Amino acid sequence: MENKNLILYCFILLSFFGNSQEVLRNHWATRTSDEPTIDGRLTDKAWSDADGNWSSDFVQRLPNEGAQPSKQTYFKILYDDTFLYVGVQCKDEVENINRWMSRRDGYNGDWVEIILDTYHDKRTAFSFTLSSAGVKSDKYITLNGAEEDMAWNPIWYAQSALYAEGWTAEMKIPLSQLRFSKEEIQTWRLQVQRRILRNEELSLWQRVPQDAPGWVSEFGIVKGINGIKPQKQLELQPFIVGTLETFEKIPDNPFQNSNKQALNFGLDGKVGITNDITLDFTINPDFGQVEADPSAIALDGFQLFFQEQRPFFIENKNIFDYRFSSPIIGGPYSSDNLFYSRRIGRQPQGSVSLNEGEFADIPQRTAILGAIKLSGKTRKGLSFGVLESFTPKVTAEISDGSSQLTEPQTNYFMARVLQDLNNRKTFIGGIFTSVIRAEQPETSFLHKSAKTGGLDFLHQWQDRNWYVGANLVMSHVNGSKEAIRRTQLSIPHLFQRGAGHIALDSTRTSLTGTGGDIKLGKAGSGNIQGELGVTWRSPELDLNDIGFLREADLFQHYTGISYRSINSFGIFRNAKATYQHWLNWDFEGKLNYVDWDVSAEATFQNNWSSAFGYFSQPHIFSKSLLQGGPRIKLTDQHGFWWALNTDSRRKFFITYSGWTKTGGEGSYYLLENTLGINYQPLDRLRISVTPKLTQIKHRLQYNETLINGMDNQYVVSLLDQNTLSLVVRADVTIGPNISLQYYAEPFISQGKYNRFALVENPLQSFTEEQLNPLDIINTASSGTKLEVDMDSDGVGDAFIRNSDFSFAQFRSNLVYRWEYRPGSELFLVWSQNFNDTALPENGLVSSLREQIFSQNLGSTFLIKLTYRFHR
């Protein structure tokens, strides 16, 4: 407790040392009646008529904050009733300009960026970037720079060109793509940023110190924009998709005896209800060209978290995001969220029961008939978002002509509001989500309905350098006795584990739980940053119908404090040292987990970077390892992590990272190494190969539960597991709007279990008092079961599963993309996805070859055409 108080006192003491606020610069925009031709050359009459309004005097942000840039930049803003025009002159030697190409949103090579806070809320902004090679990038910035929505793809026009003194950028941005007030005289916040790759130099028009507490709040001002009217946005994007699926034929299986073809239609739309409020909708959406999730395997029973990659759900996701415990130092519960869009369109949750000789056609995902989003932000600082989506029932077709329900009709709803107060320094918000399923006997194991709600608060002071925040969430699920019992038994809850404060109740038809987070932090002003807080989830909290919850029944304290350099010094461009810790209790008050870490990271003057850290976990009890059994003590662990990256400005550069862990008697050993090899032989071609090898030795692993009368006996063993993956990417950029991308990942993980034992005294240290070894007599049923001697009389009297495994997977995606007009695209896609499970009889590489590359992988070919109507 004394340590916690000391850290708090340090935070309070540091609050007296703030940095003075920068003087805001002004840029005056000019109304024009001559629309310039967007060719990148800035030779039109419109630019010369406003010759006196060029702004310059940029300053460095990196590597030496506040210093003069190596090359100066000039820009000018024009406007009329429909468009905003931006011209930029980037002084440089032509032979030194980096013109690496990429597809849209690649941010490769030299570029210039204009950022507009048209709401003037000091929190959100629209970003438009153009590279010297003519590649466009755009994003929607929120949370004062903490979040960026890269899926935002507005319609705008831009070209770049070389000239004797460097390169120029010319942009034409429709006012319909921006959000601003109805006031006659507009006052927007503005930032212009330029990157010179060879120096890894960023320069800014409005200086923003490295220790500034935010980003958008520090921008300058653009004035002179008068008499424009907010314009309602209207965009319709119909699409057509043709698909051909090939695979190895199985003559007896009527669902797999010939190739499959399909033709699909859909519509995406965006309607401006007002300039501040936008309605997005999708009818029968298609996500066929989305890149596959990274390969992974989980043996602990916990669900895996995957990032959303579907465009409809990514765009404006900041409004719907509600990670109620997301400390800056991270942690195992940072992904917990009241809204996890991957639940919509998920893999059907029901299973299919087949008789001998029957086959089934089981859908791999739930279709989405339609979804709608209403979102916006008013001039008075009220942000809001409403999303509703409907998925139909999903059935598996059986070869005898019948069908079985695997997912019922479901309605998903979520609403979010956030109000800015106190000159955008205080924020109060709320959220509500709902899932309602049609009642069907076949899916009575699912909740009939699930509702969650939350309130959040954030207050900043001393020029936003300090903040205090809080979240409170509540959930309520109801359904059949079977559904609620299933929830109580699930990994996040485990009510059956025999703890004193919870008990399995098979008569319940609902559960209500709470959670929350309270934190205090320092974001800027000087070299020191930090945060401390507490977060909790009650045993009955459940979010997993529409949100993401890793584990309930916990109370966690976290603290992190770091010291960073502001400017370069010696051999360093920048450096940072960090201390952080986590302590975790359950709601019975038992301390389950202690972890403390120290780390250092730095970027050197030659643009190489490195990181190194040490962690210690001196106190570990797991309430989930036995998957329903009692809390068990694990041996202390400690280890290191490291990273080394060469200069990413070079055509060839390498990234290397890894970590290892070991501990006292009974601990397991882990070693993971990841190597990234990146090569750009041409301005239009980039190749990367990333192998990753993970080795685990003697990790205590749950196997199964044996029923012995009224008692359960928990079988554990020591697991040896090796995992190998190889991610290959190749990007060919034919032009700013035409690209060819290839992604492939072969993956294999093998595990062998040994030293089987029964758990006798789970709270003892790792000794024979904790585990009672089992004698393996022999194997049976072709290696699927092990016969064990339970009473040491030399005679087998029980069978346990042989869980040895060799799981192999191959995923690939080849995508040709042509944006033949702004917002309208043609996709040609070839993808492969194959899984195989076997016993680990050979090494990793040979098993991967036998389980994957010697098989008929099958292919999916897809063509998708979209056309974007807009005004």
Run of H or E including 148: strand 147-149
The whole-angstrom separation of Cα 587 and Cα 501 is 7
The neighbour count for residue 285, using CB atoms within 10 Å, is 22
Cα 327 from Cα 333, distance rounded (Å): 9
Beta bridge partners of 824: 821
Q: What is the pLDDT of residues 821-857, one digit of tens each?
A: 888 999 999 999 999 999 898 899 999 999 998 888 8
64 vs 18: which has the higher pLDDT: 64
Residue 631: pLDDT above 90?
yes
In this prediction, residues 435-444 reach a mean pLDDT of 94
pLDDT of residue 609: 96
Does an H or E element contain 75, and which?
strand 73-79
Instruction: Name, in order, each residue with C-beta under 8 angstroms of 172's C-beta and a sequence gap of 6 or more.
Output: 36, 38, 83, 84, 85, 156, 157, 158
- Rounded to whole angstroms, how far apart are CA atoms 289 and 827? 8
Closest to 540 measured CA to CA, from 507, 505, 591: 505
Distances (CA, A) of 359 to 226, 258, 367, 837: 68, 15, 22, 20
* pLDDT for the residue 171: 97
Per-residue pLDDT, 8: 47
Q: Which fold has domain 2-226?
A: Immunoglobulin-like (2.60.40)
Euclidean distance between CA atoms 706 and 798, whole angstroms? 9
- Coil, strand or helix at 488: helix
Residue whose pair of structure tokens reads 């040292």 in the numeric block:
577
pLDDT band of 779, cuts 50, 70, 90: low
pLDDT score, position 248 = 81
Cα–Cα distance measured from residue 320 to residue 121, given in angstroms and rounded to the nearest whole number: 19
**What do you get for the CA distance between the two ends of the chain, in Å?**
61
Predicted confidence band of residue 641 (pLDDT cuts 50, 70, 90): very high
The pLDDT value recorded for residue 782 is: 47
If we measure between CA atoms, which residue out of 774, 782, 845, 780 comes closest to residue 808?
845
Is 50 exceeded by the pLDDT of residue 4? no
Residue 305: pLDDT band by 50, 70, 90 thresholds?
confident
Say if residue 662's pLDDT is above 90: yes
Peptide bond preceding 238 in cis form (omega within 30 of 0)? no
Instruction: Say how far residue 725 (Cα) sits from the centre of its chain.
Output: 20
Q: Quick check: 210 pLDDT over 90?
A: no
Query: Do 110 and 84 meet the contact criterion of CB atoms below 8 Å apart?
Result: no
Q: pLDDT class for 25, splitting at 50, 70, 90?
A: very high
Quote the DSSP letter at residue 442. G
What value does the mean pLDDT take over residues 758-786? Answer: 79
Look at residue 163 in the predicted model and tell me its pLDDT: 94
pLDDT band at 548 (very low <50, low <70, confident <90, very high): very high
Angstrom distance (rounded) from CA 660 to CA 642: 9
Tell me whether strands 111-117 and 185-196 are parallel, antiparallel or unpaired. antiparallel
Over the range 809-834, which residues count as b (16 or more CB within 10 Å of their CB) and which as e? bbbbbbbbbbbeebbbbebbbebbeb
Cβ 165 vs Cβ 144: under 8 Å: no
Quick one: pLDDT at residue 290?
66
How confident is the model at residue 11, as a pLDDT?
Answer: 46
Residue 411, amino acid: N
The pLDDT confidence band at residue 776, using thresholds 50, 70 and 90, is confident
Q: Which of 597, 601, 599 is nearest to 616 (CA)?
A: 597
More confident: 510 or 330:
510
Proportion of the chain above pLDDT 90, given as a percent: 64
Residue in 338, 666, 349 with CA at minimum distance from that of residue 516 = 338
What is the rounded average pLDDT of the residues 89-115? Answer: 93
* pLDDT tens-digit series, residues 250-293: 888 888 888 888 898 999 898 888 877 889 999 988 776 666 77
Q: Estimate the share of the chain in helix, then strand, then coil, as percent rounded to the nearest 5.
A: 10, 50, 40
Q: What is the mean pLDDT of residues 319-335?
A: 87
Does residue 48 come out as left (phi exceeding 0), alpha (psi in the -120 to 50 range) or beta?
alpha
- In one-letter notation, the amino acid at residue 679 is Y
Average per-residue pLDDT for the chain: 90
Higher pLDDT, 161 or 797: 161
Strand-pair partners of 470: 457, 518
Given a contact cutoff of 8 angstroms between Cβ atoms, the answer to whether 47 and 166 are in contact is: no
Cα separations (Å) of 315 from 379, 397, 535, 592? 21, 35, 29, 39
Tokens of 343: 């639940």
Which of the residue ranges 6-15, 161-170, 393-402 would you say has the lowest mean pLDDT?
6-15
Q: Is the pLDDT of residue 170 over 90?
A: yes
Three-state DSSP class for residue 53:
helix
Q: What is the pLDDT of residues 212-249, one digit of tens each?
A: 888 999 999 999 999 998 887 888 989 999 999 888 88
Token code pair at residue 111: 């570029």
- Contact yes or no for 267/238 (Cβ under 8 A): yes
Token pair for 237: 């994007």
Which neighbouring-strand residues pair with 261? Answer: 244
Q: Per-residue confidence at 709, pLDDT binned at 50, 70, 90?
A: low
Asked if the model's pLDDT at residue 311 lies above 50, the reply is yes
- Whole-angstrom CA distances from 236 to 268, 648, 868 are 6, 40, 6
Residues 245, 865 contacting (CB under 8 angstroms)? no
Is residue 796 predicted with pLDDT exceeding 50? yes
Contact (CB, 8 A) for 259 and 65: no
In this structure, the strands spanning 73-79 and 30-31 are parallel
Share of the chain above pLDDT 70, in %: 96
What is the rounded distance in angstroms from the CA atom of residue 743 to the CA atom of residue 732? 12
CB 244 within 8 A of CB 830: no
Collect all residues with Cβ–Cβ distance below 8 Å to 148 and sequence separation of at least 6: 127, 139, 140, 141, 142
Helix spans in 34-180 (H):
45-49
The pair of structure tokens assigned to 801 is: 């599963």
- Contact predicate 209/75, CB 8 Å: no
Of 248, 246, 334, 341, residue with least CA distance to 287: 341
| pLDDT, tens only, 130-142 | 999 999 999 999 8
pLDDT above 70 for 780:
no
